[in-house]
Structure 1
Amino acid sequence: MDWLHEIFKRSPEIALFLSLSLGYLIGKIKFGKFQLGGVAGSLLVACVVSQFGVQIDSGVKSVLFALFIYAVGYESGPDFFNSLGRQSVREILLAVIMAATGLATVVIMAKLAGLDKGLAAGVAAGGLTQSAIIGTAGDAIGKLGLAADETQRLQANVAIGYAVTYVFGSFGAIIVCVNILPWLMKRSIRDDAIKAEAQMQAGSVRVLGEGQQEAAPDLIGRLYRISAGKGHAVAQLESALGEPPVTIERIKRGDQFIEVTPQVVLEDDDIVLVVGRRAGVVASAALLGKEVYGIDGMEVTLLRRDAVITSKALIGRTVDQIRVATAGGVRHGVYVLGLRRMGKPLPLAPEVVIQAGDTATLYGGEHDVRRVASAFGEVVVTSSKTDFVFLGAGLVVGLLVGLLSVKLGGIPLTLGAGGGALLSGLVFGWWRARRQTFGAMPPGAVQILKDLGLAGFVAVVGLQSGLQAVSTIREHGLTLFLVGVVVTLVPMIITLLIARYVLRYDNAAILAGALSGSRSANPAFGEVLDKAGNAIPTVPFAITYALANVLLTLLGPLIVALA
């Protein structure tokens, strides 16, 4: 195999991309309902490839991890800060309890089993299935001022501990959430999910998935041949049609198209295009005439735009107050399809109070939409391109924060590059959600940074430490596995008991979602959703998952300091 060694020596990046490709291929293989996953698969393949002798620069590892952890923060930022409220106290406490019990369990078991700082952090990363700990712990180890070979040994042990404990870390979370939790609560996840769905308030916002559309949309356009409405001006008819409002967008008289103005008087046999909400458009037939179809030239292209609300005249007022105070001529021809706050849909209820940074989705003619959007604030222009000014600035700020260090009892505590980039990503992601006219990073770009950053980082770790892995597993393999079992189960069971008997969770589906999120356990959450049969567990999962991505990731430096 000398030829492989020569290839990897001349082009070590081949080893990196080979590890990613084969790792994700292996990660797709199903063992029952369990999959190893691309990250763990990449680590496994990288350890094998490293046996042929691969030298890869550590700077590659640092860059990949910084991109990954910043993207995690950027994506989680809005949910993270939104969750810090009175309405989510239980979820916040749940995530804190999970992180605290996880830290205590790891430190205690590391001391009992005689694990070094690297293996302890690796057990935490695998047993708690928080891969980002590999980076934050490795970065903290690099700040200890140890000899280069000792630093590399401990950093390699982080990956080894992760590899040995990750499989049961995923499997154990499924056991607790899907089996132990319903047994403890004496109710099934499915029954409680149905119960919670039935109790949801009517009129809640329905979010369509990708590729979905309403079979009977709320906003429609229809053509009418004027008979009953002849002799009336456009403004008179629109006013007479009342609520919900409709607008006449186009008029055809014979072979001629008439410019639509409020003063235009409709004549017998005129064809008009009426646009508005379904109830108003259907009701307008009685005042206009017979509905007709397929009239050439009556097609109108309407525009859909998002506008960030920055106008002081709107902020702090309810939807109903804004509607009453807005002149009919200002809002004529434009319809508000929805409201979002920090990326989350809001009901278009009269009592909803508008806040700075809320986003309104406007629909209507291009000229009308632009006119109304300017009164709201700033138009959001969607783009598939990433704002690298914003991305670069966020990474610079995060890496600078990571350089800061404080000593506690002589032990240096630092967020490191990973923790700093994570916190910066949270703030910049939150800022972007409030001001969507700059700092764009499309979901696809965020996902590729997360996937490539983490899997690439882990693969580099495997390539650098694979030779050492074999001897370490021989020495500590069974011990590491058993410690990992304890680290997986004990924090989850303690958190489950506190959630049930102290925080008073009484719905199995909601608790299962919150518990899986507090452990950032995606496989467990997938099983919970499968059992629930609806989206009820998603909301508590989103809150605790956003918090867990921060809290569990920050365990890396703490374990290095305390283990």
Structure 2
Amino acid sequence: MEWLHHVFQKSPETALFLSLAAGYLIGQINFGKFQLGGVGGSLLAAVVVSQVGVQIDNGVKSVMFAVFIYAVGYDSGPQFFNSLNRRTLREIAMAVFLAVTALVTVIVCAKAFGLNKGLAAGLAGGALTQSAIIGTAGDAIARLGLSADETKALQADVAIAYAVTYVFGSLGAIIVCVNVLPKFMGQGLKEASIEAEKSLAGGGAGGPGAGQISALPSLVGRTYRVTADVAGRTVGDIETREQDAITIERIRRAGHAIEPQPDMALAPGDFVLVVGRRDVMAGAAGQLGEEVADTNGVSIVMQKRQGVFAMRGMNHWTMRAVRASVDRGVRHGVYVQDITRAGMPLPVLPETRLEHGDVITFYGSPQDTKRAVEAAGYELPYSNKTDFIYMGVGIVIGLLIGLVVVRVGGIPVTLGSGGGCLLAGLVFGWMRGKHPMYGVMPPAASQLLKDFGLAAFVAVVGLNSGLQAVVTVKQSGLTLFLLGVFVTLFPLLLTMLFGRYVLRYDNAAVFAGALSGSRSANPAFGGVLDRAESPVPTAAFAVTYALANVLLTLLGPLIVGLV
């Protein structure tokens, strides 16, 4: 192993990338239905690699955490600020209740079992599966004014406790949200989702769930040959009769393609291209003529165009209300295909409430979708280039905020670089959602910053503190694990009771989405969606998840200060 130690001394970055590669490989291994994940795997791999003897400059750790926490805030910003309103008081209350309960639980456990600041913060990070706590707690520890050795030892304890408690932290959230909650409510997630969809649709059925594609697409195009009994009817009459659920996009008459006008009467032998919703098209087919396969001279190119909803005075309006307020000429030929909020799909139903920052995918002809996007707000540009000016300014402002120290009762209080970058990310992400013409950060780029930033940060922590980690695990590993089980389950179960009997959640699918979001538990939410087979839980999850990302992340410095 001496040669490996020599390599790492000459090129310590080799140890970093080796830990990342090995960690993500370990993270893909299935233990039943559970995976450790890339972050947990990277930490474990880094601890093993560190036994050879290697040190990474702490500046690397600081940079990686800054970009990670900024990206977290950036992605959560639009939904975080939009969620702060009267309509989401239940979700806000649930997220706050779980965060406070978790904080109290961790502090009580730390006091009762004599855990130091590092172990207590790591316990919170792993048991609550909030990896960002590792960074915010480590940053807070570095500002305590301790010696270099004491600081290093406490930061090592954060990583150790996180590694010991993380596995059950993920598994426990899945068990509660996917298995315990439905039994507690006496309602299956799939049945609850169907019930919620029928309620939103006024008794109708909802569409396919996230990641599903219908074998019978909802939007279709058909070509018809106008027969004598249909001739004479105008384009506007046909479209209005079907409540704008179908649109005549093109007419071919005597071999020439012509653009349809509302007052244009159809003539026998006309070929008409009709686009619309499949269920309406099927019922209207007999009134359109004879369906034919010939599309020569009548086919047109349709387009999907994404727009950011920002209509003035219509925030939190239902789709039904927005549609009713928009002129028919603007709506003509345009269909809403998808709606996402903070990257999560929402059901396209009449009673779904739209919020500023929601991304709507419009389907129709190029000119129709352009008109719809302009009316809805702003077009979301298709770009794979990150605006590094915007990002750089945001991180700089965040780091400067982290330098501010306010004394409260003689005690210095500061957000630190982590809290500062998180706050800057939230504000800059919210600004981007409101004004998408600048500040582009493609989802793939943001995901890379979060994945690589956090994994590299955790790997550096593991490499620099792995030797001490082995000693601590031998001394108190079982105690930490059992405490992790308690910190995972107790706040979740207490919040479940609070949500049912105080907040009055009565739909298991919506409740499960809100609870998993309050714990920022992505694996649990994935399990909820899998069982629900519907995007219904997403709306509640999006609100509580955005809040939890902020509230749980801030537990790091709070625990360091209170333990």
| Distance (Å, rounded) in 1 between the aligned partners of 2:321 and 2:492 | 48
1:491 equivalent to 2:491? Answer yes
Asked if the contact 1:126–1:163 (Cα under 8 Å) also holds between the matched residues in 2, the reply is yes
Asked if the contact 2:64–2:456 (Cα under 8 Å) also holds between the matched residues in 1, the reply is yes
**Closer, same or farther in 2 for the Cα pair 1:222/1:8, shift >3 Å?**
same
CA drift of 1:129 comes to: 2.0
Query: Which residue is 1:242 aligned to?
Result: 240
Q: CA RMSD in A?
A: 3.7
Asked if the contact 1:106–1:120 (Cα under 8 Å) also holds between the matched residues in 2, the reply is yes
| Distance (Å, rounded) in 1 between the aligned partners of 2:537 and 2:276 | 36
1:16 equivalent to 2:16? Answer yes
Query: Which residue is 1:379 aligned to?
Result: 379
Query: Which residue is 2:138 aligned to?
Result: 138
CA drift of 1:71 comes to: 2.0
| Distance (Å, rounded) in 2 between the aligned partners of 1:470 and 1:319 | 56
2:437 alignment partner, SS class:
coil
CA drift of 1:90 comes to: 3.0
CA drift of 1:37 comes to: 2.1
**Closer, same or farther in 2 for the Cα pair 1:422/1:113, shift >3 Å?**
same
5 Å-filtered alignment, 1:261-340, equals 268-277=268-277, 289-308=289-308, 330-331=329-330, 334-337=333-336, 340=339
Query: Which residue is 1:77 aligned to?
Result: 77
5 Å-filtered alignment, 1:523-562, equals 523-528=523-528, 537-562=537-562
Query: Which residue is 1:194 aligned to?
Result: 191
**Counterpart amino acid of 2:195?**
A
Q: Cα deviation per residue 1:456-501 (whole Å; 9 max; x = unaligned)? A: 1111100011122122233333443343344333333433443344
Asked if the contact 2:340–2:360 (Cα under 8 Å) also holds between the matched residues in 1, the reply is no
| Distance (Å, rounded) in 1 between the aligned partners of 2:284 and 2:509 | 46
**Counterpart amino acid of 1:198?**
E
CA drift of 1:282 comes to: 6.2
Asked if the contact 1:129–1:169 (Cα under 8 Å) also holds between the matched residues in 2, the reply is yes
Asked if the contact 2:24–2:41 (Cα under 8 Å) also holds between the matched residues in 1, the reply is yes
Structure 2 residue runs without a partner (length 5+): none
Q: Cα deviation per residue 1:134-154 (whole Å; 9 max; x = unaligned)? A: 100111111122222222222
Mean CA deviation greater in 435-444 or 275-284: 275-284
**Counterpart amino acid of 2:213?**
Q
1:242 alignment partner, SS class:
helix
**Closer, same or farther in 2 for the Cα pair 1:53/1:558, shift >3 Å?**
same
1:38 alignment partner, SS class:
helix
| Distance (Å, rounded) in 2 between the aligned partners of 1:285 and 1:253 | 20
**Closer, same or farther in 2 for the Cα pair 1:210/1:129, shift >3 Å?**
closer
CA drift of 1:445 comes to: 2.1
Mean CA deviation greater in 128-137 or 292-301: 292-301
Query: Which residue is 2:477 aligned to?
Result: 477
1:305 alignment partner, SS class:
strand
| Distance (Å, rounded) in 1 between the aligned partners of 2:266 and 2:512 | 61
Query: Which residue is 2:224 aligned to?
Result: 223
Asked if the contact 2:236–2:262 (Cα under 8 Å) also holds between the matched residues in 1, the reply is no
Asked if the contact 2:209–2:533 (Cα under 8 Å) also holds between the matched residues in 1, the reply is no
Asked if the contact 1:107–1:562 (Cα under 8 Å) also holds between the matched residues in 2, the reply is yes
**Counterpart amino acid of 1:119?**
L
Asked if the contact 2:15–2:54 (Cα under 8 Å) also holds between the matched residues in 1, the reply is yes
2:334 alignment partner, SS class:
strand
Q: Cα deviation per residue 1:524-562 (whole Å; 9 max; x = unaligned)? A: 444555565655554444433322221111011111111
Q: Cα deviation per residue 1:417-464 (whole Å; 9 max; x = unaligned)? A: 112222222223233333333323222222222221111111110001
In the superposition, the TM-score normalised over structure 2's length comes to 0.85
**Counterpart amino acid of 1:132?**
A
Query: Which residue is 1:86 aligned to?
Result: 86
**Closer, same or farther in 2 for the Cα pair 1:360/1:25, shift >3 Å?**
closer
1:412 alignment partner, SS class:
strand
Mean CA deviation greater in 305-314 or 219-228: 305-314
| Distance (Å, rounded) in 2 between the aligned partners of 1:387 and 1:541 | 29
| Distance (Å, rounded) in 1 between the aligned partners of 2:322 and 2:490 | 53
| Distance (Å, rounded) in 1 between the aligned partners of 2:503 and 2:211 | 36
**Counterpart amino acid of 1:21?**
A
| Distance (Å, rounded) in 2 between the aligned partners of 1:279 and 1:167 | 47
**Closer, same or farther in 2 for the Cα pair 1:493/1:371, shift >3 Å?**
closer
5 Å-filtered alignment, 1:347-386, equals 349=350, 361-371=361-371, 373-374=373-374, 377-386=377-386
Asked if the contact 1:47–1:467 (Cα under 8 Å) also holds between the matched residues in 2, the reply is yes
Query: Which residue is 1:30 aligned to?
Result: 30
Query: Which residue is 2:164 aligned to?
Result: 164
In the superposition, the TM-score normalised over structure 1's length comes to 0.85
| Distance (Å, rounded) in 2 between the aligned partners of 1:531 and 1:281 | 32
5 Å-filtered alignment, 1:42-57, equals 42-57=42-57
| Distance (Å, rounded) in 2 between the aligned partners of 1:401 and 1:164 | 33
1:334 alignment partner, SS class:
coil
Asked if the contact 2:397–2:421 (Cα under 8 Å) also holds between the matched residues in 1, the reply is yes
**Closer, same or farther in 2 for the Cα pair 1:497/1:59, shift >3 Å?**
same
Query: Which residue is 2:433 aligned to?
Result: 433
| Distance (Å, rounded) in 2 between the aligned partners of 1:537 and 1:441 | 27
| Percent sequence identity over aligned pairs | 54
Structure 1 residue runs without a partner (length 5+): none
| Distance (Å, rounded) in 1 between the aligned partners of 2:504 and 2:265 | 66
CA drift of 1:248 comes to: 4.6
CA drift of 1:506 comes to: 4.8
